Chain A
C-alpha cells in the first residue's frame, strides 16, 4: 500500500488501523476452531453408525466384502485417533480434505453452497431488521394504543409459529394458489439466464425462504426496539431535544432510535449463528441448495469431513460477524472504542 496517498484521516488508513486493532479476535479464534474440530469429531464418533452404515442403509443391500471394502476406502478401518490426526494434518495444510461420499474436495463442496446461504442470511437479516425496527418504532410511538396492540399480536404470532410451517404455508399461498413466486430451488430450470436476469431470478427464488427465515427475528427485533425506545424516551437528553422544539419525528429517529439501536445490534450479531442454524430448516423446506442442508445431510450420512468443514467455516463466519458488530457499535456510539 502506498503511504503517500493516504492522508492521516484517510478511510483506508482507518480501516487498516481497525483491522490491526481487531486482529486479536482472529488469533483467539484459533483455539476455538481447534475445539470445534475436536469436540465435533468426538461427538460424531459417539453417534452410532458410520459413513458406511449410512451408505449401506441407503443401498438396501450389503455383503461382508463390500462393506469392508467401503470402510477401507473411507479410511474408517483406522482407529479414531488416527482419523482425527489425518484430518488435523490436512487442516495444517489449509485443506478441508476430500469427501469420498460426495467424491469431491470438501472445500469445493462448501464453496459451491456458501454464497447461497450468505445471500439467504443477509436477505433474512435485512428483512428482519427493517421490518422489526419499523414495527418497533410504530409500537413505541403509539405505545398502548391500537397500532401497538395489533403489531404486538402479529409479533407474538411470528415469534411462536415454527418456521417450517410458515414456509409451507407461504408455498401454498404464494406458489400454489397465487402463482406469484416459485415454490423452491434457487433457479428456474431450463432457463439459461445470465447477468441481471439471473440475479433477478435468484432473488425471486430467495424471497420466500428469506422471509420464512426472518419471521422469528422480525418479532424479536420489533419487541426489542420497542422496549429500548421506551427506555430511551425517558432519558434527559430526549427531554432536552423536545424542549429545544425539535420536530417529534426527528427526535424519534435521531435521538431515540439511534440510541435504541445499540442493544439491537448486539443481539442481531449474536443471531448470525442462529440464522446459520435456522437456514437448515428454510433450506430444506424450499429445497434451497445451501450450507444448512449440507450440514444436515452430512450428519445423516455420518460424513465427518464435510460436517467439520462446515462447522469450521461457520465458526469463522460467526467470529467475523461479531467483529463487524463491534465496528458498527463504535460507529453508532463514538464512546465505544475499537479496543
Chain B
C-alpha cells in the first residue's frame, strides 16, 4: 500500500465534507471497536497528567472547550464561540447549551473555572506553563467564562482540546483531594463515551453516551481498550481482526501490515501530539563546549538514512527545532549541517582533536531513551558513522525511570537521544528545551543541555506574549536560526503516531487529536469487508 501525504490530504478533504457524506459509505450505528493498547494508563483523567495512554482513553470520555481540525485551527466543542480582547488580556468563551455530565448534572462555566484554576494550573505539567498568566476566571453566567490574564498568552487557544486541558466536573471534585479522587479512575465526563469498567491489565470498556450533545452521535456502541503488551502480539491481533485499531507498533512490521488487504496504515495518527526526536549535548561537559565539535557531530548524522532504515519512512527529517507539523512556526531557513563525514573530520581536526594511537579523537557516551526500538537503533547508526571519523560513542541503555534520573537529576551523561512532544505550541513544546530559566536539575524534560543564550531567552520571552501572528512567527524563525547556529541539540526526525486500523473503520482520524480524539464520528462501514 502506498499512503503518502498527498493521498492523506485528499482523503482528509473528503472527510472534512462531513461524516454524513463521507467518501466511503454512510455512517451506521452500532458495533464494538476494539483498540489494542501497549501500555496501561496510570489514571483516566488527563486534567492532571500528560501521559499518552491516559489521553487516549480520557479523550473519548471528556470533551474539551475546543477541538482542532487537521490544519490545527480551533473549532467549537464545549465552547461554541470565543473572542480575545485587542490587548490579549481577556479571553471570553460562550459555552454550549444543554450539555450534561454523564451523571446527569448540567455542565456550566463553574466547571471551566474550577478545572482551569484548580486542576490544569496546579497539577498538569504542561498546564502550569500554559495557564501561568491566567489570574482569574469570571463566570458572569452559567454559559459564559471569562479568562483574565496578567500578560497575553497567544498559545492558550492552542491548548484547549480535551486531551490537553480536560474540563472536569466541579460537583464531583470540589473540596476533595483532587489527585486521589476516585473519579480519576472511573471518570464522569461530557464526551461521547461513558466509562463502564476497567479490569487492569486486561481491558477497559466505554459505552455510547445516548445523551451526547451532538445528537445522533456517537455511532459506535462500545469502545474496548484491550491491553496487548507485546508488539508482535499486537501485530498478530490486527492480522486476525481481533483488534480493529492499534498504534505503537514496531516500525519494521508496518510494511507487512500495510500489505494486508483488510488493514490500512495511517501516518498522521495524532497531529497535536507530534514529536521531535533529537540528539542532545550536555553542555556542562568541557568536550562539547567547542562549537566545532558539535558541528562535526551534526555533520555525521545521516537523517535520510535514519528515516528510511530506522523509521521506515514514517516521519519527516527535520533540521529545525520546531518540526514541520507546526507549519505556522517551522522554517527551513536555518543553518544546516548536511551529512558530510569529510567536513566533520576536518572540523574535529580544526578543534585540535587528533587521532590517538588507537585512531580515536574523542570518546563519549550516549543514552537513548529506551533499550530497544528506534531511539536505540538511531544511536547505533550514529555510533557507526562517528567511528569512521575517529569518534568513539558508547551507547548505554536503561529503562524510562533510570533515563530521567540520569539525565535530569544525576546529570551523569554526555549526550542523549530522546523524543518529546513538540506541541501544542512552541511556547509549551519547544521553549522548555532551550530557555535558560528552564535549566532545572531534577525536572524531567527541562533544558537538559544546560543551554544558556541571553538573546535566545529574549526572543522566546517576546514570542510568548506576542499576539500578532506574523510577528510571532518571525520571532520563532529567529529563535530557530539562533539555536541551530549554537547547536545545543541536533534535531533528527519529526514524527506523528502511526495508526494501523481495519479498513472498514471510518472517520476516526478527523481532528488534530487523531486517535486521541473523541471518536464521536467513527463508524464501521457495513458495506466494506
Q: A residues within 8 Å of B by Cβ?
A: 47-51, 53-67, 69, 73, 101-104, 109, 112-113, 164, 168, 171-172, 175-176, 179, 182-187, 189-190, 283-287, 289-290, 293-294, 297, 300-302
Contacts and interface: CB of A to CB of B under 8 A. Distances in A.
B50 A61 contact: yes
B76 interface: no
Interface of B: 32, 34, 39-40, 42-43, 49-53, 123-126, 128-129, 179-180, 184-185, 199-203, 222, 224, 226-230, 232-233, 236-237, 239-240, 242, 369, 398-406, 409-410, 420-421, 432, 440, 442-446
Contacts of A293: 201, 229
Of B232, B432, B442, which is in contact with the most chain A CB atoms at under 10 Å from its CB?
Answer: B232
A280 B184 CA distance: 28
A142 to B, nearest CB: 38
Nearest to A283: B229
Contacts of B401: 47-51, 53-54, 57, 300-302
Contacts of A102: 200
B113 to A, nearest CB: 21
Given A48-B410, A60-B421, A61-B125, A103 B202 contact: no
Given A48-B402, A289-B202, A184 B233 contact: yes
Given A53-B401, A176-B236, A183-B237, A59 B50 contact: yes
A140 B405 CA distance: 56
A53 B405 contact: yes
A302 B203 CA distance: 23
B409 A103 contact: no
A294 B237 contact: no
Given A59-B49, A285-B232, 4 more contacts: A61-B126, A67-B443, A103-B185, A284-B230
B42 A55 contact: yes
Contact of B421 (A50, A61, A103, A176): A61
A179 B409 CA distance: 50
A172 B236 contact: yes
Contact of B404 (A57, A176, A182): A57
B184 A103 contact: yes
A60 B433 CA distance: 12
Given A176-B236, A184-B233, A185-B202, A300 B400 contact: yes
Given A61-B50, A175-B236, A187 B202 contact: yes
Contacts of A176: 236, 239-240
B525 to A, nearest CB: 19
Of A63, A64, A302, which is in contact with the most chain B CB atoms at under 10 Å from its CB?
Answer: A63
Given A63-B129, A103-B43, A183 B445 contact: no
Nearest to A50: B401
Contacts of B49: 55, 59
Contacts of A189: 32, 34, 203, 224, 226, 242
A185 to B, nearest CB: 6
Given A49-B401, A172-B236, A190-B32, A289 B444 contact: no
Given A189-B226, A289-B201, A58 B399 contact: no
Nearest to B429: A61
B199 A285 contact: no
Contact of B403 (A57, A61, A66): A57
A59 B124 CA distance: 10
